């Protein structure tokens, strides 16, 4: 578990999220982000066709010294729990304490079409996967006979690598409360997280008689003081998610109509996007940290000069 909020600096509670890109470019970006003073990053996991994320992050760990590196998220259908445990433990031996392992089910249809994995009950599959993976990470061995996996193996290492899971709906947040070291929602409005999600997370933690794990809220940021420009950029960045059933269901639960979701309405964009100059963005991020979420991870929504805005974001977070 992470340190309590009151003992953690602002810099420890705010990170940058990057998308999957060319490995060499990603490694260079992570080197630059560390130089700006950022404490940790989360990097997206691309589907088949993208380079392997953990391999790239291991290369980045060799080029950096303190930056904590998180996966957001490794799709569990892409590899057996024994394999990801071996990868995580190898990473930790090379860069102790610097990996935060974020995993999730992804889309069941893609699990089937790309990896041939049937995931008719995604949360049940994830529960069993985490049961195996946690035992391997923490004890270095597991002897398991279950619905989806049969595993009998001992590894040569163990470590307390934090294990976080993605979530959008109440069922996934409840599961995270039971079994995870943290939860990684994506494109979820903060009020939804501090009401619906937090309630389910607390219920899951209570059912397992454990402390509530932290919420790492995702926040898109645009460096512009022009509302119309921000809305246009935000609508473009969020349009894909408005077409996906899981995200539409989450937006409905967050209080948006089907019409607002389909149109990616101004109200929907402004519920997610933080925009303004550097001072205003910093102010808004601090407001969100005081609302009940534990951490923020920031995605840049480019407006005019992506490279310049990326550097600005790194400096902003690095100086918190």
Reported pTM: 0.94
What pLDDT is attached to residue 307?
A: 93
- For 26-50, b where at least 16 C-beta lie within 10 A, e where not — what string? bbebbeebbebebbbbbbbbeeeee
What pLDDT is attached to residue 49?
A: 65
What band does 2 get if pLDDT is binned at 50, 70 and 90?
very low
Render pLDDT for 236-268 as a digit per residue (tens, 0 to 9): 999 999 999 999 999 999 999 999 999 999 999
Q: Which two tokens stand for residue 122?
A: 């995604």
Residue 304, pLDDT above cutoff 50: yes
Q: What is the mean pLDDT of residues 153-157?
A: 93
Q: Which residue has the higher pLDDT, 22 or 130?
A: 130
Render pLDDT for 216-230 as a digit per residue (tens, 0 to 9): 999 999 999 999 999
Range(s) of the domain holding residue 46: 5-318
Domain total in the chain: 1
What pLDDT is attached to residue 48?
A: 67
CATH number of residue 71's parent domain = 3.20.20.30
What pLDDT is attached to residue 44?
A: 92
What band does 51 get if pLDDT is binned at 50, 70 and 90?
confident
């Amino acid at each position: 578990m992470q340190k309590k909020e009151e003992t953690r600096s602002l810099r420890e509670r705010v990170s940058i999220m990057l998308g999957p890109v060319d490995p060499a470019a990603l490694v260079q970006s992570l080197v630059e982000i560390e130089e700006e003073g950022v404490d940790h990053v989360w990097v997206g996991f691309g589907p088949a066709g993208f380079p392997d994320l953990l391999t790239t992050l291991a290369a980045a760990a060799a080029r950096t010294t303190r930056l904590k590196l998180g996966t957001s998220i490794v799709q569990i259908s892409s590899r057996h729990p024994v394999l990801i445990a071996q990868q995580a433990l190898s990473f930790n031996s090379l860069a102790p304490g610097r990996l935060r392992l974020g995993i999730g089910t992804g889309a069941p249809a893609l699990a089937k079409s790309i990896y041939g994995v049937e995931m008719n009950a995604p949360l049940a599959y994830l529960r069993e996967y985490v049961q195996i993976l946690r035992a391997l990470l923490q004890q270095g061995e597991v002897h398991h006979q279950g619905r989806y996996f049969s595993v009998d193996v001992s590894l040569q290492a163990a470590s307390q690598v934090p294990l976080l899971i993605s979530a959008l709906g109440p069922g996934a947040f409840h599961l995270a409360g039971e079994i995870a070291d943290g939860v990684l929602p994506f494109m979820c409005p903060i009020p939804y997280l501090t009401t619906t999600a937090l309630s389910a997370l607390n219920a899951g933690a209570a059912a397992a008689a454990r402390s509530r794990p932290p919420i790492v809220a995702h926040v898109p940021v645009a460096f512009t003081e022009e509302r119309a420009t921000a809305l246009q950029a935000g609508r473009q960045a969020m349009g894909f998610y408005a077409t996906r059933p899981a995200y539409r269901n989450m937006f409905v639960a967050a209080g948006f109509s089907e019409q607002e979701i389909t149109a990616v309405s101004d109200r929907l964009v402004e519920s997610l996007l933080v925009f303004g100059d550097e001072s205003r963005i910093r102010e808004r991020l601090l407001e969100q940290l005081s609302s009940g979420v534990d951490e923020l991870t920031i995605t840049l929504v480019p407006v005019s000069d992506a490279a310049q805005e990326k550097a600005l974001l790194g400096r902003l977070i690095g100086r918190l």
